[in-house]
Each structure stands twice: as structure tokens, then as C-alpha cells.
């Protein structure tokens, strides 16, 4: 029972990270109608920067904030210079640009920080004895810290979208850019803000997940996270934040349970399994389990 | 009551209902296009005219009701079979293929007429090329008839709007339809062009033997070329009869101009 | 989706004057041009073959990737189905050849058709989601396929050699007796084999894309709904195209196995390879006949030249930068650009257009070899 609980805790912790990464993807999709394939690698890059700062004796929290700030700038600048000009052209162009960013950022991180695996210090106390006992299982502080942090982020995003004017503008732009523009909403700035926000969320995801074992900071760390986050986002048809969060948690828990209990699926096959499940969802419920049916005007 | 063999079939739309979430876009709409006649479909914006078209061509699936074309039940057919059953359409906002030439755009319309197999095409079977030549020749004839011969080999992208409307018409004609669904063909045209268009539709309908269901805002054209007119408002049919009768119907006038009170 | 636009550079009307020179299809000048082209290709191939073995190997690699990218071109270029997982077909073809040769003693050449058929079937299966989901979602599905392939290879290690890889002994890849080549001339055997297969593939692609099926493919890309309303069976087109696309890339994979002799799942069959194929496609020119050949040069030589600089990461940056630059500066790709400029100089038309032969029925629209759609 205690092993089950520990697996559950690990699953929820991982799931929480997938959830906020999925949120970042949803923010971008609602704003620009495309998925930012490069979200993971941009987060990787900012996490490397944060790591580099910690090696210079900068406190982890400050490093994390710097990473978030850089994530914001990267996101906003990318939207303005690379995505917006191409977006109206055709769907494929945006995806191709995102792919280019994916490759580019990964390689850039490798170039600047070399490919050795690094250890990223945690934002929370992560010692051997820093845990609380729950039902015979150990719930480590750093896991709990991640949960709380993620709840904060999710809460902040929901508050932003549903209770602030900025959030209202963002939803308007995502829904109908032309009408929003006509109503005086500064659509350009809103789009940049959206991507910037996604950049912050992604950076936070990176800083949160890399200290957790077995994740470490290396060039391949963020890719599986992106896969799981994409799968989680698809739970909500890419435009439902609730769906993304639920999806993330479900996937995180399932991953831990399956790798723990089922022999056949080991190593990195869970990623594939996650994607297969999503493909099946897309085939039978194309708008995801939580998303809204979208109508097209002809 | 079956039509004679060379007469096009009758389109019968019966009690068609379609809902989008909480909005009822079409509410028990029924109308019949008699074999070979030109039927005008009018109504203010949002009345459901294009939605009705989309039901006929199976872009949408009605929640209730039936649509038959002669003996064929359209509500069961897959979208690409509709044209095979003899119904071709144009689109309100133009739906051409920008990277293809005018001729190629027209040729796509003929796609349903003879099989185009992958294997045969890849291997360059002589039969395939001959068929292609024949269909291209027919397409060129249609283009000539519509005054588009000179544009045949230009890419569709970048051509004037009026030209592109005719290309869409050409594409629909290439399918040798028995019924043509025209969605606001006069949109964006000048008065002179509209008059020409009206005459063109009548001539083609008689010459090539097809019926027409025409959505149009240009009252003059609709009234002058239609054999019968149907009016929709908020997804419901509010008038159905001779052009003059419908034009003078109080309900129709009220729908367009709003009720005075 | 119905307002999806496509990058079509609008052509400026040709200036009056000597240019463009018109050449009528089937005329004397046209035939001379065709002959000249054949001679040129033959000369280039012979020149390539006479280089030193290492270079010949590089050229073979270019030929193989040209085939792989041609496959991708059918699905992504002509039909608009973006696939980020074509590395899986490449790998499927390669491992089919590898396993059949190593574990079952097959003749390498005989394994190629098997790889083609398998890749076709898997391609059709992967294409099935395309029926219900749109471009972006389809890209995610193909991503799944591309990511899954190396994992599956590693999982079934007994069969495939797993992460350690699969090695095909040189002797098993020796040129067949009928070629008259010795074991040490294996590089020439693969060079010419790849060249011949590339030419056959290009001919097949040319036939397909010029036919009404080809027009249907482009129509599907430009406007699905209108295509369906015109009678194009989207289901058949999409699945068949994906099958064919996978099959051609799988064929390239089989050749690759024969060429490289040592397969490793994380070597050439990962997501990065998919991205390289896409880069090659867009650099060369999507939806053009010869674009994949040009793109293959980029795919082979960019890593080669950047490998020396800073442990290979530079090639990733270059690929990323190239992808972005191409989208901005040259979305039609090198061959697309050349075609457009070339049309100012030479225009190939049919007899009917120039009115020079009333007896000939009007045929295909004016297009030069490899013209983008």
C-alpha cells in the first residue's frame, strides 16, 4: 500500500508538471491556433540559464525568476517576429517555423552549455529526510512543493483568464481576432502577451521538473515532457484549460502506475503509449474529451 | 410520377432540421425543386440558406428530415458522392484551388465523371492520359463558353474576383450536373455583370438540362430568372411560390425590412 | 479551414519581347531539350561515379535521401499532409532489409520490395487519422509515429538488435554477380542502384502528379471541402497518398541499410531525421519534382560541413535557422524559385494553345518539368 501511495505521489507530481506545460500549450493554441512545438525546448533553454546562474551561487529562486523573465521575452519576441508574419499564410508554415525553433533552441542549449547532464537544484528542501509520512508512504517536501506551486500557477492562470480584463481580451482575441480588433482590443500586444505568458509557464515547468528524479537537466529532458503535455492538452481538444490540467494529472499518474506494475512497458515506451491513447481519442472524439465543438463558417 | 429519362431528378427537401448547440439553424424546412426548374432561395442574413446548401451537399448532417434527389437519399451519402449523384455547387466566399490553373480548377469538377486510379496514374497508363486529354478538352469548351478561354492556363491565385466566380461556375459545370446549387453568384458583381449572369444561368440551364437552386440577395436577378421562389427567415420557410407572389408577401417584406410598429 | 490559403507567388505578367521563348511540347526543340536533359543527367552521374570512394558514398547518400524526401513530398508537399514522422518509414525500410539479410539470409536486393509493401501498409494505417483530424492534429499523430519507432526497435531487441544496433556484414552486401563488380566496388553498386531507383521514383511521381489524381491531391491540399464537393474521395486520396509516401521513403530506407551496413535506432531514425527530411523538402521546394534532389544535398552536406564545428550542435542550429529562413524568404524552395524565374525565359506549352496544330486535342496545362503546384 505504501508503495502504491508513493507511486501515486510521484505520478501526481509528474502530472502536475505536465499539467502546467499543457496549460502553456493551451494558452498558445487559444491565442494563435497552433501548437508551439518549441515550447519544451524554449523551456529547456531557460532552465539551462537558471542552472548556469545557480553555479554562480545565485539562489535558486532568483534563478527561477530570471528564467521565467527570459521565457517571457523569448515567447513574446518569437510571436512578434516569427509567428505573426507567417500565421496568416497557412497552417503548415507556422508548424514548420515551430519545428525550426525546436531544433534551433535544443542545439543552441547544447552549444552554449555542452551536452553533459547537469543537476538542477530544487526550489524546495529536497533532502533525504524532508518528507511527511502519509499512510505509511513518504511524501517528500519537494513533491509537495511542486504540487502547491502548480496549484498556484493554475489558479493564477484561471484568475487571469476569467477575472481580469486582460484575460477577457485574450479570450476575445483567441475567439475572433477581427471583432476583438474592431472593439479596440490591441490584438498584437495581446498575442505577444499570450506567448510571453506561455513562455513563463514553460520556464517554470522546466525549473520545477528538472530537480525531480529521475529527471535531470540534459538535452533530452524536455522532449518527453512536451509529448506528455501535448497529450494532456489534447484531452481538452487543445482549447480547454481544465481538460489540460485533468489530462496532465491523469497521464502523470497512469505513467507511474503502468511503469511500476506492468512489465511489458518499460523505459520510454510510456510516451508512445500516451500518444497512442491520444490518437485514439482524436479518432473518436476529435475535439478532445473536454473541448467544445467548433463550427466553421463557410 | 418519375421524370422522363432525360429530365433531371427532383430535389425534395423534407422537414430538415439542424441545430448548432442551442441555435436552431434550420427548423423543419421543406422545399422541392421540380425537374429542370430554377428555384430562388431568399432571406435575410442568417436565415439558413447556405446552411441548407451545406445539408444538401453533406457538409452538415441534418438532425431530422430527409433530402432526396430522385431515388437517391442524400442524407446517407458521403460528401464526395453528392456530385456523382448529379448535384454540383458553388460557394459563397469562393472555394477555388489557388495553386492550380483555371483549367485545372475546372478539371477537378470533372473528377467524379470517370475513375482516376492511383496505380494507373503512376504507371502512366495510356488510357489514363487519353481520358485526361478528353476531359481537358471538354473543360476548355466550358471555359470558352464562359469567356475564360484566355485565362485557362493562368494560376487561379491573383485573378479578379468576377473571373474567379465564373471559374467556380465552370468547375461546377464540368461535373455535368443535373442540379446546380449556386450560393450568391452575383455577390460582388456590377449591375451589368449581374444581368449577364442571369441570362447565362438561364441559357446554361436550358442548354445543358439541369435545374438550379439559387441563393441570392440580388432581388432583381432572382425574381427575373426563377421559376419559383422560397423565402427563409431564422431557419424557417416563410414563403414558397411564384416570384411575384413571394415578392409581395407581407411576411417576406417584413423579414427584410423589419416590422414597423 | 476553408479559408486556408496557400503560398502561391503571384506571377507578374510576362514583359513583351523576345522572352519568354515558347517551346511546344512534342516539337523538335522540345525533343532536343529532352535529349539534352538525358545526356546531362547521364554525364553528371558518370562524373559522380568517377570520384573517390568517399565522395561516391556521399553522392549515394544524396541519392538515397532524394528518394526519401520525394516520398515525403507526395504527402506533405502535394497533398498538404504534414508528416513529422517519416523517419519511421525510413527506419522501417532499413530494418526490414537489415533483419531479412542478417537473420534470414536474404539477398539484399530482394528485401527492398518487402520494405516497400510494409511501409505502404503502415503508411495507410498512419494516414487513417488524416480522415478525421486536421493538419495540426495529424502532425501530432505523425510525431507519435516518429517517436514510437526507435522505442519499438529498442523494445524488441531480440528481433532488431535493440539499442546496440544491427550490423550487416559487408560480404552480405556485396554487389550481385550479374553486375560484374567486385566486393571492393560495393560503393559503385549502391551508387548506380540508388541512381536508377531515384530516376524510376521521379518518373512515377511525375506521372502521378501530372495526372488527374495529382490534381485531386493538390485540390485536397488547397481546399478539402471544395474538393469533396467536386467528387474527390478524401479518404481514398489521403490514405493512398500516405501509403505511397511511406512506401517510397521506406524504399529509401532499405537502400540506406545496404549503404551504411550498421543500423542503430538512435542513429538515423529519430525525430531529428524527420526534421531533416522536412528541412530538405522545403529547402529544395515542396511540391516540385526536383526539389527533393536539391534538398537532399542540404540534408547530407549541412551536417557534414558543420560537424567539425563545436561537436555537431551547430548543424542543429543551422537546420533550425534554415527552416525558419526558408519559410520567410523562399517558401517555394530553391527549385520553386528557379521554376518561377525560368518561366520568364522559357515557356512550354501545348500545340493547342499556340494554335499551331488544330488536329491535336488540347491536353495538359502549360508546365515545365518539375513545376510547383
pLDDT in tens, C290-306: 999 999 998 898 888 77
Which residues of B, range 126-145, sit inside 8 Å of A by Cβ?
Answer: none
Percent of chain C clearing pLDDT 70 (strictly above): 87
Which residues of A, range 106-145, sit inside 8 Å of C by Cβ?
Answer: 106-108, 110-111, 114-115
Tell me the pTM. 0.87
Contact: B20, A298; criterion CB under 8 Å: no
Residues 6+ apart with CB under 8 A from B134: C361
For residue B120, the distance in angstroms to the closest alpha carbon of chain C comes to 9
C356 pLDDT more than 50: no
For residue A210, the distance in angstroms to the closest alpha carbon of chain C comes to 21
Which residues in chain C have their CB less than 8 angstroms from residue A99's CB? 84, 275, 278, 323
For residue B189, the distance in angstroms to the closest alpha carbon of chain C comes to 21
Is there a domain that residue C250 lies in? yes
More confident residue, C123 or C368: C123
Task: State pLDDT tens for residues C133-166.
Answer: 777 778 888 888 888 898 888 888 888 888 888 8
Residue among A86, A103, A230 minimizing CB distance to C319: A103
Is there a domain that residue A297 lies in? no
Across chain B, mean pLDDT equals 87
Contact: B121, C232; criterion CB under 8 Å: no
Q: H or E segment at B69? A: strand B64-69
Homologous superfamily of domain range B11-257: P-loop containing nucleotide triphosphate hydrolases (3.40.50.300)
Task: State pLDDT tens for residues A111-141.
Answer: 888 778 888 887 776 666 667 776 667 777 7
Is there a domain that residue A293 lies in? no
Q: Tell me whether A258 touches chain C (CB under 8 Å).
A: no
Give the Cβ contact number of residue C31 at 10 Å.
12
3-class SS at B48?
coil
Is there a domain that residue A28 lies in? yes
Residues 6+ apart with CB under 8 A from B89: B53, B56, B57, B172, B180, B181, B182, B183, C229
Is there a domain that residue C212 lies in? yes
Contact: B100, C213; criterion CB under 8 Å: no
Q: Give me the domain span that covers residue C202.
A: 59-267
Tell me what the mean pLDDT of segment C166-190 comes to.
Answer: 83
The structural domain count of chain A equals 1
What does the block give as the cell for B67? 433530402
Task: State pLDDT tens for residues A230-258.
Answer: 888 887 777 788 888 888 998 888 888 77
Q: H or E segment at B105? A: helix B102-109
pLDDT of residue C310: 57
How far apart (Å, rounded) are the C-alpha atoms in residues A294 and C137? Answer: 15
In the structure, what pLDDT confidence band is assigned to residue C366 with cuts at 50, 70 and 90? very low
A248: CATH: 1.10.3470
Give the Cβ contact number of residue A56 at 10 Å.
7
What are the structural domain ranges in chain B? Answer: 11-257
Task: State pLDDT tens for residues C70-103.
Answer: 999 999 999 999 999 999 999 999 999 999 999 8
A96 pLDDT more than 60: yes
Rg of chain A (C-alpha set): 19
Q: How do beta strands C21-24 and C346-349 pair?
A: parallel
Is there a domain that residue A157 lies in? yes
Is there a domain that residue C149 lies in? yes
What does the block give as the cell for A81? 517576429
Assembly ipTM: 0.87
For residue B122, the distance in angstroms to the closest alpha carbon of chain C comes to 4
Amino acid at each position: 500500500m505504501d508503495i502504491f501511495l508513493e507511486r501515486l505521489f510521484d505520478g501526481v507530481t509528474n502530472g502536475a508538471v505536465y499539467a502546467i506545460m499543457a496549460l502553456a500549450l493551451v494558452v498558445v493554441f487559444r491565442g494563435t491556433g497552433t501548437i508551439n512545438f518549441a515550447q519544451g525546448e524554449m523551456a529547456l533553454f531557460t532552465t539551462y540559464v537558471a542552472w548556469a546562474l545557480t553555479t554562480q551561487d545565485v539562489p535558486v529562486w532568483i534563478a527561477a525568476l530570471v528564467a521565467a523573465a527570459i521565457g517571457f521575452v523569448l515567447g513574446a519576441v518569437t510571436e512578434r517576429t516569427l509567428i505573426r508574419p507567417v500565421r496568416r499564410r497557412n497552417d503548415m508554415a507556422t508548424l514548420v517555423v515551430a519545428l525550426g525553433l525546436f531544433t534551433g533552441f535544443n542545439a543552441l542549449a547544447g552549444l552554449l552549455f555542452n551536452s553533459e547532464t547537469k543537476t538542477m537544484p530544487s526550489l524546495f528542501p529536497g533532502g533525504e529526510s524532508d518528507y511527511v509520512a502519509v499512510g505509511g508512504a513518504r511524501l517528500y517536501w519537494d513533491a509537495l512543493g511542486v504540487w502547491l506551486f502548480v496549484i498556484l500557477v493554475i489558479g493564477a492562470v484561471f484568475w487571469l483568464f476569467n477575472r481580469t480584463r486582460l484575460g477577457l481580451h485574450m479570450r476575445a482575441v483567441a475567439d475572433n481576432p477581427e471583432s476583438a480588433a474592431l472593439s479596440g482590443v490591441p490584438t498584437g500586444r495581446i498575442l505577444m502577451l499570450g506567448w510571453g505568458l506561455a513562455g513563463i509557464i514553460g520556464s517554470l515547468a522546466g525549473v520545477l521538473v528538472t530537480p525531480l528524479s529521475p529527471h535531470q537537466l540534459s538535452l533530452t529532458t524536455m522532449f518527453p515532457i512536451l509529448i506528455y503535455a501535448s497529450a494532456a492538452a489534447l484531452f481538452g481538444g487543445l482549447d480547454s484549460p481544465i481538460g489540460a490540467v485533468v489530462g496532465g494529472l491523469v497521464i502523470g499518474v497512469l505513467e507511474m502506475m503502468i511503469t511500476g506494475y506492468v512489465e511489458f512497458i518499460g523505459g520510454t515506451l510510456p510516451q508512445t503509449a500516451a500518444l497512442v491513447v491520444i490518437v485514439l481519442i482524436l479518432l473518436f472524439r476529435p475535439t478532445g474529451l473536454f473541448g467544445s465543438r467548433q463550427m466553421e463558417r463557410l | 410520377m418519375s421524370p422522363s429519362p432525360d429530365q433531371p431528378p427532383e430535389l425534395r427537401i423534407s422537414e430538415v432540421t439542424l441545430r448548432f448547440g442551442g441555435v436552431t439553424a434550420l427548423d423543419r424546412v421543406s422545399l422541392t425543386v421540380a425537374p429542370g426548374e430554377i428555384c430562388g432561395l431568399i432571406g435575410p442574413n442568417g436565415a439558413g440558406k447556405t446552411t441548407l446548401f451545406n445539408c444538401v451537399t453533406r457538409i452538415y448532417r441534418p438532425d431530422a428530415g430527409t433530402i432526396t434527389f430522385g431515388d437517391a437519399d442524400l442524407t446517407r451519402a458521403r460528401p464526395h458522392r453528392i456530385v456523382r449523384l448529379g448535384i454540383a455547387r458553388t460557394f459563397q466566399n469562393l472555394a477555388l484551388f489557388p495553386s492550380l490553373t483555371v483549367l485545372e480548377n475546372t478539371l477537378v469538377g470533372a473528377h467524379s465523371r470517370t475513375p482516376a486510379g492511383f496505380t494507373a496514374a503512376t504507371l502512366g497508363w495510356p488510357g489514363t492520359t487519353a481520358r485526361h486529354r478528353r476531359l481537358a478538352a471538354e473543360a476548355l469548351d466550358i471555359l470558352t463558353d464562359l469567356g475564360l478561354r484566355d485565362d485557362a492556363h493562368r494560376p487561379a491565385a491573383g485573378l479578379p474576383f468576377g473571373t474567379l466566380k465564373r471559374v467556380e461556375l465552370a468547375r461546377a459545370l464540368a461535373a455535368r450536373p443535373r442540379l446546380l446549387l449556386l450560393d450568391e453568384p452575383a455577390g460582388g458583381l456590377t449591375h451589368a455583370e449581374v444581368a449577364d449572369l442571369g441570362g447565362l444561368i438561364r441559357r446554361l440551364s436550358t442548354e445543358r438540362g439541369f435545374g438550379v437552386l439559387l441563393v441570392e440577395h440580388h432581388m432583381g436577378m432572382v425574381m427575373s430568372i426563377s421559376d419559383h421562389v422560397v423565402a427563409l427567415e431564422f431557419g424557417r420557410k416563410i414563403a414558397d411560390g411564384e416570384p411575384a407572389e413571394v415578392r409581395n408577401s407581407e411576411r417576406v417584406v417584413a423579414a427584410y425590412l423589419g416590422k414597423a410598429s | 479551414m476553408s479559408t486556408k490559403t496557400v503560398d502561391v507567388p503571384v506571377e507578374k505578367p510576362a514583359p513583351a519581347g523576345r522572352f519568354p521563348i515558347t517551346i511546344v511540347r512534342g516539337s523538335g526543340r522540345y525533343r532536343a531539350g529532352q535529349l539534352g536533359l538525358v545526356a546531362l543527367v547521364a554525364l553528371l552521374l558518370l562524373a559522380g561515379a568517377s570520384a573517390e570512394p568517399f565522395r561516391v558514398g556521399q553522392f549515394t547518400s544524396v541519392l538515397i535521401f532524394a528518394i526519401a524526401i520525394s516520398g515525403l513530398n507526395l504527402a506533405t508537399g502535394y497533398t498538404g499532409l504534414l508528416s513529422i514522422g517519416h523517419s519511421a518509414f525510413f527506419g522501417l525500410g532499413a530494418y526490414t532489409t537489415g533483419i531479412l539479410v542478417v537473420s534470414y539470409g536474404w539477398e539484399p536486393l530482394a528485401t527492398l520490395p518487402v520494405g516497400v509493401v510494409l511501409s505502404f501498409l503502415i503508411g495507410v494505417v498512419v494516414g487513417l487519422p488524416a480522415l478525421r483530424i486536421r493538419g495540426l492534429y495529424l502532425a501530432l499523430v505523425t510525431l507519435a509515429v516518429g517517436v514510437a519507432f526507435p522505442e519499438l526497435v529498442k523494445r524488441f531487441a531480440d528481433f532488431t538488435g535493440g539499442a546496440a544496433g544491427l550490423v550487416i556484414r559487408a560480404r552480405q552486401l556485396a554487389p550481385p554477380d550479374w553486375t560484374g563488380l567486385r566486393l571492393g566496388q560495393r560503393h559503385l553498386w549502391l551508387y548506380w542502384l540508388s541512381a536508377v531507383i531515384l530516376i524510376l521514383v521521379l518518373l512515377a511521381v511525375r506521372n502521378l502528379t501530372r495526372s488527374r489524381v495529382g490534381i485531386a491531391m493538390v485540390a485536397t491540399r488547397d481546399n478539402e471541402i471544395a474538393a469533396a464537393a467536386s467528387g474527390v474521395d478524401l479518404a481514398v486520396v489521403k490514405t493512398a497518398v500516405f501509403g505511397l509516401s511511406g512506401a517510397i521513403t521506406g524504399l529509401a530506407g532499405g537502400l540506406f541499410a545496404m549503404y551504411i551496413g550498421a543500423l542503430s535506432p538512435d542513429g538515423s531514425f529519430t525525430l531529428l531525421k524527420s526534421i531533416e527530411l522536412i528541412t530538405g523538402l522545403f529547402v529544395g521546394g515542396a511540391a516540385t519534382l526536383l526539389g527533393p534532389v536539391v534538398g537532399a544535398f542540404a540534408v547530407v552536406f549541412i551536417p557534414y560541413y558543420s560537424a567539425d564545428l563545436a561537436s555537431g550542435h551547430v548543424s542543429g542550429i543551422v537546420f533550425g535557422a534554415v527552416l525558419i529562413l526558408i519559410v520567410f524568404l523562399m517558401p517555394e524552395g530553391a527549385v520553386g524559385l528557379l521554376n518561377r524565374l525560368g518561366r520568364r525565359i522559357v515557356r512550354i506549352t501545348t500545340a493547342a494553345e499556340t494554335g499551331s496544330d488544330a488536329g491535336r486535342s488540347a491536353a495538359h496545362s502549360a508546365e515545365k518539368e518539375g513545376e510547383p503546384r
